[in-house]
Amino acid sequence: MLDFYLTATTYCLFQLTMSLNSSTLLNEENSQGPKRNPECLESLELQTPSSFQENPLQQLQLASQEVLEKAKKSGRSKCPRCSSSRMFYCYTCFVPVETVPTKEIPTVKLPLKIDIIKHPNETDGKSTAVHAKLLAPDDVTIYKYPCIPEYEEKRHEIALIFPGPDSVSVKDIAFHLQKYTKKSVCDNDNDCSGEPRLKQAKIEPKEEKNLNECISSNRSEGTRLKKIIFIDSTWNQTNKIITDERLQGLLQIELKTRKTCFWRHQKGKPDTYLSTIEAIYYFLVDYHQEILKENYKGQYDNLLFFFSFMYTLIKNAKCCAGKE
């Protein structure tokens, strides 16, 4: 059951890939391998991410990635805030570089807030968590452990993505969050104490109906998920975070088993280890269908805007190197 979707981020040499164009990447990947095909390299420049065959991400409804194509050709650029040399975006400041105008980057509106808790030893350039912050800046916050919020008072509206014996599926979130609100509802309504209640004034049927609707509405609001937490770390680093007292008592959710498209993962590990951005994306798709009860029409596909571009870039590079 260790389909652990948080660890894949550390298996990727993302910082190296982001700093190199496709030709340099081929030299790095293929220094001891077969010779590259010049014709393939030429065709690589003509391909767009959506045109690559057998791309499992090609069905995504993405904004135009032409801005990334241009940035790839021009190479590294400065971060507008810290002036560091980066490719596509600054993973420290969470902003696009100068050659990637913010207005050309899609913005995704999420149905709830997301907190990402990043282990201090997790290399910034290897993490895909920054993608979420870049593409959904109003709804995503990244914390570096141990500097994280206190969640105890809001645990009836917060859940943690983490597999385990007590984890529940996305479709069962509302049912299990009710357990966290039962005590507070009983305290407020005085209907669970077992103590005698004072005689109340008679309520007319119409007034009683309105009162019941109000109580029902308040309870439904109290069991609605408002924030989801993701952990961005390796499997070995996770224990320190998940055992933190500030995360104890939170509802834990386990995602459906899905195969990762991450281009780097540790040998011997299952391909169900998702990167952080993949885990966020798949959770939101499930949430949209299972909880909001709405048809999914690509509302969150642009969360994979950077991820899909890098996937295609590396896939093409491997193809030209004769590895696939």
Select the more confidently predicted residue: 18 or 152. 152
pLDDT at 119 (0 to 100)? 94
CA distances from 103 to 100, 106, 129, 135 (A): 9, 8, 21, 11
Residue in this structure with the two tokens 């800046």, named with its chain if needed: 137
pLDDT at 267 (0 to 100)? 60
Select the more confidently predicted residue: 265 or 272. 272
pLDDT at 55 (0 to 100)? 64
For all residues of the chain together, what is the average pLDDT?
Answer: 77
pLDDT at 57 (0 to 100)? 85
pLDDT at 206 (0 to 100)? 53
CA distances from 304 to 109, 192, 209 (A): 14, 47, 47
Q: Which amino acid is present at 209?
A: K
CA distances from 322 to 17, 120, 223 (A): 18, 37, 53
Contact 147, 213 (CB under 8 A): no
Residue 1: band (very low, low, confident or very high) from pLDDT cuts 50, 70, 90? very low
Q: Is the pLDDT of residue 133 over 80?
A: yes
- Judged by average pLDDT, the poorest of 52-66, 144-158, 160-174, 257-271 is 257-271
Ranges 36-45, 55-64, 82-91, 174-183, most confident = 82-91
Q: Could you report the per-residue pLDDT of 213-237, keeping only the tens digit for each?
A: 543 444 444 458 999 999 998 877 8
Which letter, b or e, does each residue of 253-284 get, where b requires 16 or more Cβ atoms within 10 Å of its Cβ? bbbeebebbbbbbeeeeeebbbbbbbbbbbbb
pLDDT at 237 (0 to 100)? 85
pLDDT at 46 (0 to 100)? 39
Share of the chain above pLDDT 90, in %: 49
Select the more confidently predicted residue: 259 or 138. 138
pLDDT at 123 (0 to 100)? 86
Burial class for 125, CB neighbours closer than 10 Å (0-12, 13-18, 19+): middle
Contact 134, 104 (CB under 8 A): no
- Read off the pLDDT of each residue in 263-267 and give the average, rounded to a whole number: 62
Select the more confidently predicted residue: 98 or 56. 98
Select the more confidently predicted residue: 193 or 156. 156
In the sheet where 158-161 sits, what is the strand order? 140-144, 113-118, 227-232, 158-161, 251-253
Strands (E), the chain: 77-78, 85-86, 89-90, 95-96, 113-118, 140-144, 158-161, 227-232, 251-253
Q: Could you report the per-residue pLDDT of 21-74, keeping only the tens digit for each?
A: 444 433 433 434 444 444 443 443 434 444 434 567 888 999 999 999 999 999
pLDDT at 323 (0 to 100)? 59
Residue in this structure with the two tokens 């209907």, named with its chain if needed: 191
- Read off the pLDDT of each residue in 158-166 and give the average, rounded to a whole number: 92
